[in-house]
Amino acid sequence: MFTRYFSSNRKILFLSIITGVFIALLLGSLQFLWSYHKREVKFDTLITDLSVYMENYFDELKTAIDVLQPLTLGSCRDVSAELTSRAAFSINVRAFLLVRDKNAFCSSATGPLNAPMEELIPQLHINKSVDMVLLEGTPMLPDTPAIAIWYRNPLVKDGGVFTSVNINLTPYMFYTSRQEEFAGIAVVIGKRALTTMSSTLVNAEDLHETPARSATLRHIPLTINLYADTWTKDELLLALLFGLVCGIAAGSLNFYILTIRLNPGKEILTAIKLGQFYVVYQPVVDAKELKMRGVEVLMRWKHPTMGEIPPDAFINFAEAQKLIVPLTLHLFDLIIRDAPRLQAVLPPGAKLGINIAPGHLHAESFKADMRAFNASMPPNHFQTVLEITERDMINQHEASPLFDWLHDEGFEIAIDDFGTGHSALIYLERFTMDYIKIDRGFVNAIGTETVTSPVLDAVLTLARRLNMSTVAEGVETPEQAAWLREHGVNFLQGYWISRPMPLEQFCQWRPDMSQAGE
Ligand code: C2E
Ligand code: CA
Ligand code: CA
């Protein structure tokens, strides 16, 4: 039962802390992974958007240049007007230059010219079908970086179209500066790079950091690098905070549920209120005639969800939770309620064995409780026998006067579970008690080859000498009964006679001792 596992508040606290830490770590890491994932997705989206945008741009540029390629065959005078208007209608294009025999001979900006490409843009390889370089600037915009692109015309010897286009990372600069995790964007062409981190061109080798994302365009030797932090302080802080809050919440909830909701101490009080406890009666017969001389009252708890909870579990628990007094008082109420019906089946003087837990025995209210119980029972009918285990008498100096008081009040006392404690025989001589209830462990051993029987013999002899009656508990077989009767035990109790029964069944019970062979 759960009560065994969560019997102390310290255990509950410990468990709650463990739960809290576990949840904090779990949810904190999940939160961190989630923001990590979100950032990864953001990176992917940005790099894809950028490459798609640039690819589209260069595809359109290529289409425009394909139209211009035939012009490389004509003379500048004939084609310059068209060249100029094409450049005017091409977004971001600074100038188109027509090239033939490695010579730029016509510019959309300045008309006819005669400039060897080697001098104009030495880094550009005009033998390649497409080539690109980054420029610090162009003659007309010397401080604004541009991309120089070369498209060869395979039909013309060392000819083709050369163009310079604006490249402007300013919008991305704004974007990345607003997003905490982004460090910047770089456009790398050959050995040079334009970045949002610097206003001038840098050497591609000087871009130390490894980019978070990198994409090279189709058909074009241009690479876009995305620089970003793997995680940001904010994300880590958020994960920590989230974990902490969840951990505290989970730990507290755990603590609340275990202490308040599942707190079995409270459950006992609730169970009393809801009438979940009931009593069963187990007959005790005298050994000679096997006639019922009394009953032992045993408590039961029918829990709505956990079913029948054995008394060993809840009695100990009630004691630990300091609830044994209300529980015993409830037991008294149940007995008082059953008393009229018991009176009808039990003869006057019948013994009513009630188990008294040590926690109650030594409680302040004990004497008053016992008096109140006596006063509520039918007068002069039952002989109440209080069953007290021997371990409850250890170190209890008040036991002796208390027993005297109980006797004066008309109660009888039985030492319960006799033989399970230590130095048991000492108690027999020290205290005045009426019955010894021999523990079922001894009874069980009857018939087996153990040292139990001589000990049992000694106990029975001593009991006779001290004028005490003996009750054998847990008598389950006729052999046990026969042995006990032979050895002079006074009363028998056990499954051989009857199991404990609810009131209804007990009222109908008739001893059937046919097995006894008498
Ligand atoms: P106990 O006082 O020794 O009670 C006798 C126990 O032995 C009962 O178990 C009973 O059902 C069981 N028993 C009877 N005959 C036989 C038998 O032939 N064979 C076997 N194997 N068992 C037999 P139960 O009812 O489960 O009670 C267990 C213990 O719980 C009791 O031991 C008693 O210490 C405690 N208890 C039960 N009801 C109360 C109560 O109302 N108040 C207090 N303080 N303790 C109680
Ligand atoms: Ca008992
Ligand atoms: Ca017992």
Q: What is the pLDDT along the chain (518 residues), one digit of tens a residue?
A: 444 444 566 788 898 999 999 999 999 999 999 988 988 898 899 899 889 988 998 999 999 999 999 999 989 999 999 999 998 888 888 899 999 999 999 999 889 999 999 998 898 898 999 999 998 888 778 888 899 999 999 988 899 999 998 887 777 767 766 777 778 888 999 889 988 888 788 888 888 778 889 999 988 889 999 888 777 788 889 999 999 999 999 999 988 887 766 665 778 898 999 999 999 999 999 999 999 999 999 999 998 888 898 898 899 889 888 899 999 999 999 999 999 999 999 999 999 999 999 888 888 999 999 999 999 999 999 999 999 987 766 555 678 889 999 999 999 999 998 877 655 666 777 778 899 999 998 898 887 766 567 778 888 888 888 889 999 999 999 999 999 999 999 999 999 999 999 999 999 998 765 554 44
What is the helix (H) or strand (E) element at residue 433, kind and residue range? none
Q: Which value, to the nearest 10 degrees, does the dihedral of the CA atoms of residues 12, 13, 19, 24 take?
A: 160
Same structural domain for residues 140 and 16? yes
Q: Which ligand is nearest to the CA of 284?
A: 1
Q: Hey, how many other C-beta atoms are within 10 angstroms of the C-beta on 41?
A: 10
Q: Residue 418's domain spans which residues?
A: 263-508
Same structural domain for residues 228 and 291? no
| Residues at CB less than 6 angstroms from ligand 1 | 282, 298-299, 310-312, 315, 331, 355-357, 387, 416-417, 440, 473-476, 494-495, 500
CA of residue 356 to ligand 2 center, whole Å: 8
Tell whether 155 is covered by a domain. Answer: yes
Same structural domain for residues 253 and 111? yes
CA of residue 13 to ligand 1 center, whole Å: 33
Tell whether 270 is covered by a domain. Answer: yes
Tell whether 517 is covered by a domain. Answer: no
Task: List Cβ neighbours of 402 (8 Å cut-off, separation of 6 or more).
Answer: 361, 366
| Residue pointed to by tokens 């009953």 | 295
For the domain that residue 334 is a member of, what is the CATH number? 3.20.20.450
Ligand 1 atom closest to the CA of 417, numbered from 1: 3
Q: Hey, how many other C-beta atoms are within 10 angstroms of the C-beta on 365?
A: 11
Of 233, 261, 289, the one marking the end of a domain is: 261
Same structural domain for residues 248 and 294? no
Ligand 1 atom closest to the CA of 297, numbered from 1: 41
Of 261, 289, 310, the one marking the end of a domain is: 261
Same structural domain for residues 98 and 180? yes
CA of residue 353 to ligand 2 center, whole Å: 7
Q: Atom 29 (ligand 1): residue with closest C-alpha?
A: 312
Tell whether 298 is covered by a domain. Answer: yes
CA of residue 355 to ligand 2 center, whole Å: 5
Same structural domain for residues 242 and 330? no
Contact criterion met (CB below 8 Å) for 459 and 436: yes
Q: Atom 45 (ligand 1): residue with closest C-alpha?
A: 355
CA of residue 471 to ligand 3 center, whole Å: 10
Tell me the C-alpha distance between 329 and 320, whole Å: 17
Beta-ladder partners of 281: 297, 501
Contact criterion met (CB below 8 Å) for 11 and 5: yes
Ligand 1 atom closest to the CA of 310, numbered from 1: 26
Q: Atom 20 (ligand 1): residue with closest C-alpha?
A: 474
Tell whether 513 is covered by a domain. Answer: no
Ligand 1 atom closest to the CA of 328, numbered from 1: 42
pLDDT recorded at residue 5? 42
Same structural domain for residues 153 and 245? yes
CA of residue 494 to ligand 3 center, whole Å: 10
Tell me the C-alpha distance between 351 and 414, whole Å: 11
CA-nearest of 220, 225, 182, 219 to 205 is 225
Ligand 1 atom closest to the CA of 439, numbered from 1: 3
Tell me the C-alpha distance between 96 and 87, whole Å: 6
By the CB criterion, residues less than 5 angstroms from ion ligand 2 are: 355, 387, 416
Q: Hey, how many other C-beta atoms are within 10 angstroms of the C-beta on 286?
A: 17
Q: For ligand 1, pick from 285, 298, 389 the residue to mutate: most ligand atoms within 8 Å of CB.
A: 298
- The dihedral through the CA atoms of 185, 187, 192, 195 has a sign that is negative
Tell me the C-alpha distance between 233 and 244, whole Å: 16
Q: Please name the amino acid found at residue 346.
A: L
Tell whether 484 is covered by a domain. Answer: yes
CA 463 and chain centroid, separation = 57
Same structural domain for residues 207 and 279? no
Tell whether 271 is covered by a domain. Answer: yes
Of 231, 261, 291, the one marking the end of a domain is: 261
Q: Atom 42 (ligand 1): residue with closest C-alpha?
A: 355
Structurally, the chain folds into a number of domains equal to 2
Q: Which ligand is nearest to the CA of 420?
A: 3
Tell me the C-alpha distance between 457 and 508, whole Å: 36
Q: Do you know the residue count of the chain?
A: 518
Kindly report the three-state secondary structure assignment for every residue of 81-147: HHHHHHHHHCCCEEEEEEEECCEEEEECCCEEEEEEHHHHCCCCCCCCCEEEEEECCCCCCCCCCEE
Same structural domain for residues 249 and 373? no
Tell whether 222 is covered by a domain. Answer: yes
